[in-house]
Amino acid sequence: MKITQKSFGVTSKGEEATLFTIQNSSGMTVSFTNYGANIVSIIVPDSKGNFTDICLGFDNIQGYEENTLGLGSLIGRHANRIGGAKFTIDGKEYELEKNEADNNLHSGFVGYNKFMYETEIFEEEEMISIEFSRLSPHMEQGFPGNLDVSVTYSLTEGNELMIEYHAVPDQATVINLTNHCYFNLAGHNSGSILDHKVWLKSNKYTPTREDLIPTGEILDVAGTPMDFRILKRVGQDIDADFEQLNIAGGYDHNYALDISGDQVEKVAELVEEKSGRVMEVFTDRPGIQLYSGNFMTPVANSKDGAVYEKRYGICFETQFFPDSVNNPSFPSCVFKAGEVFESVTIYKFSCR
């Protein structure tokens, strides 16, 4: 295994960004930048040994400074939506930016993907890791408490991209970290993901209101287009006349995972049959957001001059349920002073 680094350009604030690239002995290559702790590329082989970048992203730092779609992004302090852009902890109400109608999405206009991170590299025989860390100060984005936060990306010899999240607050606060990588196993610039097949280890999902905030219900997927318990084409039911799909313009829903949460378990699989590529998802989080790229629009500085349109990428965002801070029946994303947030997500790549 080897790791290299080079300049990735200078931000509008005059900060020098670095691109870190890890390659294992099989040739799988993953790149990251210390600006935003973003995943820049994931290059994996197909069934014939041809290597392709399957992670949507940008050619330069200017793309990641804009990045309205959150391509490859670390999302925090709270991933997904908070209804009314406000919440209460210990009797005190906190207000956030309203960046999606009256709600807060991914913590506002300036998320964790818009900051520079300190970097530390760890090299082992079977794995190389990069830790990105920073202090998120009290009331940044409107959230209480200073938060020591880090994300560690590791590439293993088993073609696994492992993401380890770690955060410790100095007072009660909300913590819900995820990654917003858009995947297209046929290649980042290959078009629609509707022929990809998805499997989810989930019998239930959280339906939403018209503004995509969960109603508080947890419904069975059985007999609905939301059912991915058997491997199914993304496009099979995506345009069905079903209220939840009509509201979101496709899949943009949290699935309640059928796992204990005590250990990392396989929760999802993505298959692209023409290339033979397979991606398995493992996590210890209670939920996963399946997002079929319904709101994607062309963005500047895309890699290789690609034009990313609606449904050209798909996301598997491991998480606490959306708006759980305002819904006592959902697993809680509130952590007390000194309480450690730790989570692991693994994306494992292979061919069939």
Which pLDDT belongs to residue 240?
98
Catalytic residue annotation: 180, 317
Confidence tier at 169 by pLDDT (50, 70, 90) = very high
pLDDT at 15: 97
Residue 51's pLDDT is what?
Answer: 98
Per-residue pLDDT tens over the stretch 86-123: 999 999 999 999 999 999 999 999 999 999 999 999 99
pTM of the model: 0.98
Q: How confident is the model at residue 320 (pLDDT cuts 50, 70, 90)?
A: very high
Give the start-to-end residue ranges of the domains of the chain: 2-351
Across 11-139, the runs of DSSP E, i.e. the strands, are: 16-23, 29-33, 38-45, 51-53, 74-75, 81-82, 86-89, 92-95, 104-105, 118-123, 127-136
Taking residues 162-185, what's their average pLDDT? 98
Mean pLDDT over 277-281 rounds to 98
What would the two tokens of residue 33 be? 């930048």
Mean pLDDT of 43-52: 98
Predicted confidence (pLDDT) per residue in 77-88, tens digit: 999 999 999 999
pLDDT of residue 255: 98
Element holding 190 (H helix, E strand) = none
pLDDT of res. 146: 98
First to last CA, the chain: 24
Residue 218 — pLDDT band, cuts 50, 70, 90?
very high
- As a whole number of angstroms, the distance between CA 42 and CA 1 comes to 15
Give me the chain's average pLDDT, please.
98
- What fold characterizes domain 2-351? Beta-galactosidase; Chain A, domain 5 (2.70.98)
